[in-house]
Amino acid sequence: MNVTRADRRRLEAIVADRSAPQKHVWRANIILATADGCGTVEIMRRSGKSKPVVWTWQARFMAEGVAGLMRDKTRKPGKPPLPPDTVRRVVDLALGPPPGEATHWTGRMLAKAAGVSLRSVQRILEAHRLAPHRIRTFKLSNDPNFAEKLKDVVGLYVDPPAHAVVLSVDEKSQIQALDRTQPGLPMKPGRAGTMTHDYKRHGTTTLFAALNVLDGSVIGRNMKRHRHQEFLRFLNTIEVQVPKRKAIHAIVDNYATHKHPKVRQWLARHPRWTFHFTPTSASWLNAVEGFFAKLTRRRLKRGVFRSVDDLKAAIDRFVAETNADPKPFVWTANPKRILAAVKRGKEKLESIH
């Protein structure tokens, strides 16, 4: 094998290049080791490649030089690609309604209808970013005052009034105290943690919560039910804990309890309170929903509670942990983009129906 001085400089440059593909690096190392007089066994040890691989790239270098090491030989595919008409047929079928009373297309249904293999259908769907087995839920608000209410609530988040407290208030009802029928197993390498799919019910509780948007602290109280009587007791709890000199702006949803005549009478007797109602079907606008989601993920979903008292104690501990290290709520979504998205959604629904 004749490795010229120019060839050696090119090969050493490939090895020293940190961005060079690794396959080019080990091919260059094989040729450099050969030029240094190493035997096949030593080259195999240095490169970590088999004897046929070493011989193949030695032969390639002798035939084509350094340029041959940079090129991979192409070969014809084992099967010809699917005709464009077949691909289009699979896509059209996937975009259309399924046959009979089926709710959605499956890969095997598409393969049978188009006369191709299941793997071909999977490749086509992946290439066209189609997923018939998935669905996303949505709910458009029909509130005629959606824009005004959105701007009112977001205005409280972004620019809260001076000498006031902004509270996001709601209740998480029917929280179940679930106890597993058998103990689960802990996680270990190669196996996820386990828990039984069935459970024992030990009763329910309702968590009333008020998230302070400015500092992230939470006022929480567990109650047995979620009527206007319990809501009034929770408002009295907030009234005691918030300093008298501060006005209170409460963001609430349109649940009937929040608009009960006795609740309105209570508000009339407490002039420092102002209720700001979110648009209908827009609970995502209420910041306390994020706290409820975190509570569900971190404390309730996998929790084991042998009584309602155990459940209440776990919820109270979570509220205390949140208040020990509160994080202010920060609103980042642009209201104009939200209004534009709602407008597009309504226009799309109207065009369909």
Spans of all domains in the chain: 5-69, 84-127, 149-345
**Structural domain 149-345, CATH architecture:** 2-Layer Sandwich (3.30)
* Mean pLDDT, rounded, of the chain: 90
- Give the Cα separation of 270 and 272 in Å (integer): 6
- For the stretch 163-209, pLDDT in tens is 899 999 999 999 999 998 888 888 989 889 888 888 899 999 999 99
Contacts of 24 (CB under 8 A, 6+ apart): 14, 69, 70
Q: What single DSSP character describes residue 18?
A: T
Tokens of 170: 């709601």
Residue found under tokens 């979620």: 226
pLDDT tops 70 at residue 353: no
- For the stretch 104-147, pLDDT in tens is 999 999 999 999 999 999 999 999 999 999 998 888 888 888 88
- For the stretch 254-268, pLDDT in tens is 888 899 999 999 999
Contacts of 145 (CB under 8 A, 6+ apart): 279
- Give the Cα separation of 168 and 286 in Å (integer): 6
Q: Is the pTM of this model over 0.75?
A: no
- For the stretch 71-104, pLDDT in tens is 887 767 677 888 999 999 999 999 999 988 999 9
CB atoms within 10 A of CB 57: 23
